[in-house]
Structure 1
Amino acid sequence: MSTGTTERGSGLDESANAEFYSTIKENHYSPLWQLMGGLGPEAKTNMVPHIWRYEQARALMVQAGEVVPLEDALRRVLGFRNPGSRPFDRTGATDTLWSALQLVKPGEIAPAHRHTPSALRFIIEGDGAYTVVNGQRVPMDEGDFLLTPNGHWHEHGHTGEGPMIWLDGLDSPLMSRLNQYIIDEEGALQDVDPAMPAPYVNGLISKPWGEAERVAQPLVYKLKDALETIEYLREREGDPFDDIIVEYRNPISGGPVMTTIAAFLQLIRPGVDTKAHRHTHSTVYHVVRGSGYSIVDGERIEWTKGDTLAIPLWYEHSHHNHTGEDAVLFSYTDKPAIEALGLGRMRASE
């Protein structure tokens, strides 16, 4: 059959195609028809669900305290790298969330710095440590949840005994992908300001003139306050996917604790099996008390106190407590960032 054109797959076509695509590449064009492979109606990620066992992580952290001087490291931090990370990616527990353990030994002071990533700390063990955030000194007690919002100067010190270990959570992978990861180091320690009254920090009382304070929200949320609220809600019908769950909030804005990160504490009551669901935000769970397991993408993952579990976006998951004791989980997510982009979506499993 004659069509007046060279047939598809002929040598002439291949030569013309090669020249065409060579010209495109040399002049910095991207043909969309070559970029659509792998896309479809569901959110996808290279990241995979993974759990980091506290027993192992703590041992490595203590060893780091012996072999890595703080003056060399500035921050003695052991990041949790997702096994699905590509070799050239900055480490992260998920695409957007960093998770790590940080150690400060007695007598040490991690010098002041500030950065564009927003950061949180959940204190796992130890006492006698503190952080200074924009001049406000905040003691660190086990179970406390602390904030160092983006752009805030912060340093950490330890005046007690024994190791001080906490969970770090940041949105640094997101900042890296946006090319917005900026950090400033400061050689000198901060001047410590007089402590602000709690009602002033919490927005219950404010001054109606001048500039706002350098700290615009609470820097610490006490575990006992969250547990007291959970206990008040204990006998009620829980959330089908998370059982009894409370969110840490910014009382100034009424929103999540940070613009890109939301944080929660939840109780999985004895005998509870939550329903499975998936969503377009990623979550990092840390086991505060008790033990249980989660079923993630069909795999049963056992967890106990101190373990940290990352569930990237759109993985089906449910939580289960078949013990006779309470299981308490702290978690943080990138939900505020995802919803701000209009990408928030959840689907319950049948």
Structure 2
Amino acid sequence: MGRPNRTPQPGKTPEPKKGQLTSSLRQFLVTPADLATQPHGADGSMASEESAPSSPASEVLTSGTERPPWLDLLRALPTKEDLHSATSALGATIRQDIQALRADMQGLSDRVGHMEATCDSLREAQHTLAEAADSSSEQVRGMALHIEDLDNRGRRNNLRLRGLPETEDSPQQLQEILLEILNEILGRDHQAPIEFVRAHRALRPKGAPDSPPRDVICCLANFALKETILKQARGRQSLTYRNQDLQLFPDLSPATLTYRRALKPLTRVLVAQQIRYRWQMPTGLLVHTQRGPFLVRTHSDYIALGTELQLPAINMRWPDPLDIYTAARNPYPRPALPQRTRGGRQEATRPTGTAR
């Protein structure tokens, strides 16, 4: 028996078959290339219905109000000519900037070359000036030592007596006291004649009543007699005058005394190890070692002496004659002078070289 035909219900469309659905969907797929190749009318719509596909999508595209938004976006995309012109302008700009950069680099290279040449000339000039400064420093050091030697030669006949009570004594009274003391050292009669050139106290202000007395400086006319007196004084255990202990020294220049004061740490170690030494003029130290005398005059000699004698580490800097003669930066200051009393009030001693 055959199945009776059903009448279609109103309001419902007939469902297409599977094969028919696939063929109808292809009509709605319109590529952008197909849209670009189709001619447009005067109002911007598609040209004619004969050239358009007979599909619902073509009907939507032909109407101006129903165009999809991505169509304007596709039309606004740059073309190959636009990209070519943009890249050409960009390349020209980059080439221009590169040329300017090359010019700047060339200018910098020239300036750097000029600066290097200038630095080389300045380095050579600085080396020449350094050598000249070193040579001048050595010459000044030599002149300082020469001045020190001349100062000591001017004092070669002088004796310095320390510890003699300071009274209101005149140069004549000082000579009489010195005559008695020196004759006692020589083992002669106290009234034996000794020729004095001069005799006076140290040239500085008188100190406070409780301060040590100023040294007495006397100049003998006979240098051999002066050396004999010093030799006899070294052999004596003590030297007294009217129950006052005295000390007798050769009169040396302030620079020599400063030099020997700076070497005191070294001489203290030599005395502790019972190593004999002797001062040299104008500056220097003659040390008696097992291999013979060792003369120390410079810092390198001092280092070699410490290595030779295996001396302990000494915190000492070798004195420089330029520092000794430069009062503004003298690292070896002289002891402060005693203070004086004026009107029952103690007054500080004025530093050397300052205005009153």
* Category of TM-score, reference length = shorter chain: under 0.3
Structure with the larger helix share: 2
Q: Which has the higher strand share?
A: 1
> Which of structures 1 and 2 has the larger relative contact order (alpha carbons within 8 angstroms, sep 6+)?
1
Q: TM-score, normalised on structure 2?
A: 0.24
TM score, norm. by length of structure 1: 0.24
Name the larger-Rg structure: 2
